[in-house]
Structure 1
Amino acid sequence: MEARLLESVFPADTNPRGNLFGGTLVAWMDTAAGIAAMRRARSVVVTAAIEEIAFTVPIVQGDLVEIHARVVEVGRTSLRVRVEVHRENAIEGTRELCNVGHFTMVAIGEDRRPIPVPPDEAAPAA
């Protein structure tokens, strides 16, 4: 399962130098990871862990930010989601990979306790 988000970087999203706040980017990444995980788990999910995210390529005011999240591993109650972030300057027509992060999401029931992730319906029967 996958999810794609497209965000535009506005002045309120940046620091005084015009760079996107790291916390804002992580929130966007977490949202995309959650959507991808919910689609696969068919339940509510919560974030259990976020692996190291390095901010090596600045994202600036006016950039478009595409966030692509894909479930890469499924455990009994957890899902590992790879999230890639690209920045795009639509005026210049440039695009570049900025960040990659891995999020561990856990499926939860109404009692907020972990529940099993159902088997993938697309997987061949054994």
Structure 2
Amino acid sequence: MTFTPKRAQESLIQMTELVLPNDTNTFGNLMGGRLMYWMDIAAALATMKHCSAPVVTASVDNISFETPIKLGNVVHIEAKVTRAFTTSMEVHLRVWGEDPVQQYRYKSNEAFMTFVALDPNGKSRPVPQVIPDTEEEKVLYDGAMRRRQLRLVLGGKMKPGDAEELKALFI
């Protein structure tokens, strides 16, 4: 099965949430688990938009929380597919907080997630390739193979010696 490749920009999802009391910890900051939940939804929407099929989360790379998002602030999540492999897609997410009273935005974090497309029987299925257009999309696209190999090595699905893209960084 072959698909027409799609531009990275076509998968862009922008999600906005308001941080309410039920979303916060005892310090009045957005709970990390709630943010990861919202990020997972945004990434799923971006990958479904790209492949026009149901998807499941396959992996979540390191998520570092740079700046806490406070109660009453707005969360902005941007998700875009950076590269597609055979049945999986890498998604880059950026998160900003916004103080609506003081009218300023601040970076909270960013992460990469991987999703797999499913056929009607719940088995993985092929996905369209990604066409990067902007310089930033090209940089993310080029780095995706190294990030994929690192995920596979860390997950025990690839031997370190077989990770050619990673070896090229050190040799």
Name 2:79's counterpart in structure 1: 69
CA distance in 2, matches of 1:89, 1:19: 13
Q: What secondary structure, in the 3-state scheme, does the structure 1 residue paired with 2:70 have?
A: coil
Looking at structure 2, the residues matched to 120 and 24 of structure 1 have their Cα atoms a distance apart, in angstroms, of 29
How many angstroms apart in 1 are the aligned matches of 2:51 and 2:89? Answer: 8
Structure number with larger C-alpha Rg:
2
Task: Give the alignment of 1:1-126 within 5 angstroms.
Answer: 1-119=11-129
In structure 1, what is the Cα distance between the partners aligned to 2:130 and 2:102? 41
Identity %: 37
State the secondary structure of the residue aligned to 1:36. Answer: helix
- Structure 1 stretches of 4+ with a deviation exceeding 2 A read 118-121
Q: Aligned letter for 1:75?
A: F
Residue by residue over 1:88-119, the C-alpha shift from the partner in whole angstroms, topping out at 9 and shown as x without a partner, is 00110110111101000000112111000135
Higher helix share: 2
Computed over aligned residues only, the root mean square deviation of the Cα atoms, in angstroms, reads 1.7
Higher strand share: 1
Structure 2 distance, partners of 1:77, 1:2, is: 19
Length-normalised TM-score, structure 1 = 0.93
Question: How many angstroms apart in 2 are the aligned matches of 1:119 and 1:28?
Answer: 25
Work out the CA distance in 2 between the residues paired with 1:103 and 1:84.
11
Deviation at residue 120 of structure 1 after TM alignment: 5.8
Alignment partners' CA distance in 1, 2:58 and 2:102:
38
Structure 1 residue ranges without an equivalent (≥5): none
SS in structure 2 at match of 1:7: strand
Structure 2 distance, partners of 1:10, 1:48, is 29
Structure 2, unmatched stretches of 5+, are 1-10, 134-171
Cα distance in 1 between the residues matched to 2:89 and 2:27: 36
**Inter-partner Cα distance in structure 1 for 2:130 and 2:81:** 12
Q: Count how many residue pairs are aligned between Structure 1 and Structure 2.
A: 123
